[in-house]
Amino acid sequence: MNNNMSYEGVMARRNEIMKKAVGIDYDRFEFEGIAFDYETMMRETGYTLEEMQQIQGSTGVGNTPILELKNLTTLTRKFSPKGKGARIFIKDEAANPSGSFKARRAANAVYHAKKLGYEGVIAATSGNYGAAVASQAAIHGLKCIIVQECYDSKGLGQPEIIEKARKCEAYGAEVVQLTVGPELFYTFLKLLEETGYFNASLYTPFGIAGVETLGYELAIQMRERVGKDPDVVVCTNAGGGNLTGTARGLRKAGAENTIVVGASVNLKGLHMASDTQFNKKSFTTGHTGFGIPFATWPDRSDVPRSAARSLRYMDRYVTVRQGEVFYMTEALAQLEGIERGPAGNTSLAAAFSLAQEMDKDQIIVVQETEYTGAGKHIQPQLSFARQNGIEIRFGDPKDEVPGQNIILPESPKLIKAVDLDLEKIRKSYIKNAIEYNELESISSSDLEFLAEDTNSSLDFVKKVIEELGVDIV
């Protein structure tokens, strides 16, 4: 092990540490310039769909039920134009061993770690993925360390994050809790180097491919249930893996015409790495503080090339507000008798609004739910918000200002998903790709890659490149 354990020394060895901890030589997939061979990376380092189903099924992961939300559909139709109000379904991923869809990602990653002979796994996450990795590590007899960004500089931790730490520890994992800031990645790298454990990153091909089973199952189940593919599938979007894996699974099932919508909680104006703003938000995942940065530059992740590339698969991107998600969490419990956590209810709030645009005979599916408990419940979250100076009131959610207030809708008719400008997001991604690679010109293969990675066209990419003053050679 290298003796230079300073921040600069460890960060300088980042790629070397990552390569050893993941077992992937990412250089094999690189081309000169911007492009890399994404599909080969997914194919050669992942598993077939059938293999993933077997891996997951051996630990009780997957084959989760589809539930129709008849009462919420009826409520939606009260506010829909005549003939509108699609049927709303959810895929109940809380039925997985650790209580969320991330068990699918973890099942693949931990299985692969054991297959390669690693003694343990490490994941840097404040969320459900940590619990999923800890659960799978327990099943496979591997050691597990979860690194959490948990507290501000005053030592105050969000109830939801603390709840997830409790769940990780319940599965036997060691949880390393840190304050917000750059020490998270530094500590993560140090632990990987010191232990020699596998990096069970959210962004490896193993993890993303694990979610493909979700999209595939969803399509097959809907065909069996209603005789057709869903018209719209809504995915809560943060780092992009949820949407990427689900969309790839839908395509593998042949559901080519299903519209894939990303949904994030609007936390515009709050900086996720700010110590003073860390506890001003009431959502730790599925928000724009992750969704936008990772959409506009997915390779900011903890591996050289992220397998989570949401822009490749996203047909539409909408936001909802904190108060709307809290409202829908209560509505799901009190109208459908299903109590679930906030992440999946982000998509549910969006689906409740989007269903009103769709015909009655159409189908919209929320592709995940998550477990709830302790700090994930509404009251601990709202109490913590009040303690941090956030005003809680009823009104019109469109007046909500992240970091200042949470506005619960006076009526469900006020729940409105807001479209983000995908063209603007695509332009930002292309600009970041140019700047990150410090290029003054790009090749035709780069153009093709950018068109694929932004789900756009060659003409669109060429226009953006010309606006940026970059030559095409």
Beta-carbon contacts of 252 under 8 Å, excluding residues fewer than 6 positions away, are: 49, 212, 215, 216
* CATH of segment(s) 61-99+206-419: 3.40.50.1100
Q: Please say whether the dihedral angle defined by the alpha carbons of residues 131, 133, 134 and 136, taken in this order, is positive or negative.
A: positive
At residue 2, the pLDDT reads: 63
- Note the Cα 42 to chain centre separation in Å: 18
> Do the domains 17-55+101-204 and 61-99+206-419 sit in the same CATH topology, yes or no?
yes
At residue 349, the pLDDT reads: 98
- Under CATH, which architecture does the 17-55+101-204 domain have? 3-Layer(aba) Sandwich (3.40)
pLDDT tops 90 at residue 257:
yes
Whole-angstrom distance, CA of residue 302 vs CA of residue 124: 9
Task: Answer yes or no: are the C-beta atoms of 47 and 104 closer than 8 Å.
Answer: no
Secondary structure class of 120 (helix, strand, coil): strand
pLDDT band at 16 (very low <50, low <70, confident <90, very high): confident
Helices (H) and strands (E) in the chain, counts: 18, 15
Mean pLDDT for the stretch of residues 130-153: 94
Whole-angstrom distance, CA of residue 278 vs CA of residue 104: 29
Beta-carbon contacts of 352 under 8 Å, excluding residues fewer than 6 positions away, are: 72, 75, 76, 88, 328, 331, 412, 415
pLDDT band at 201 (very low <50, low <70, confident <90, very high): confident
Amino acid (1-letter code) at residue 4: N
pLDDT band at 154 (very low <50, low <70, confident <90, very high): confident
User: pLDDT tens digits for 441-461?
Assistant: 999 999 999 999 999 999 999
DSSP code of 361?
Answer: T
At residue 135, the pLDDT reads: 97
Mean pLDDT for the stretch of residues 263-273: 90
446: its two tokens: 């780069």
Cross-strand partners of 406 = 392
Mean pLDDT for the stretch of residues 356-380: 94
At residue 373, the pLDDT reads: 84
C-alpha R_g of the chain = 21
**How is the chain split into domains, by residue range?**
17-55+101-204, 61-99+206-419, 433-472
Angstrom CA distances, 351 to 320, 376, 418, stand at: 10, 21, 12
198: its two tokens: 């596998």
- Note the Cα 244 to chain centre separation in Å: 9
Whole-angstrom distance, CA of residue 96 vs CA of residue 101: 7
409: its two tokens: 């809708």
Percent of the chain scoring above 90 in pLDDT: 77
At residue 396, the pLDDT reads: 98
At residue 158, the pLDDT reads: 86
Angstrom CA distances, 247 to 6, 112, 163, 259, stand at: 41, 23, 30, 9
At residue 150, the pLDDT reads: 86
DSSP code of 277?
Answer: T
Phi-psi domain of 183 (left: phi exceeds 0; alpha: psi -120 through 50; beta: other): alpha
At residue 252, the pLDDT reads: 97
At residue 413, the pLDDT reads: 97
pLDDT band at 43 (very low <50, low <70, confident <90, very high): confident
Query: What is the average pLDDT value for the chain, to the nearest integer?
Result: 94
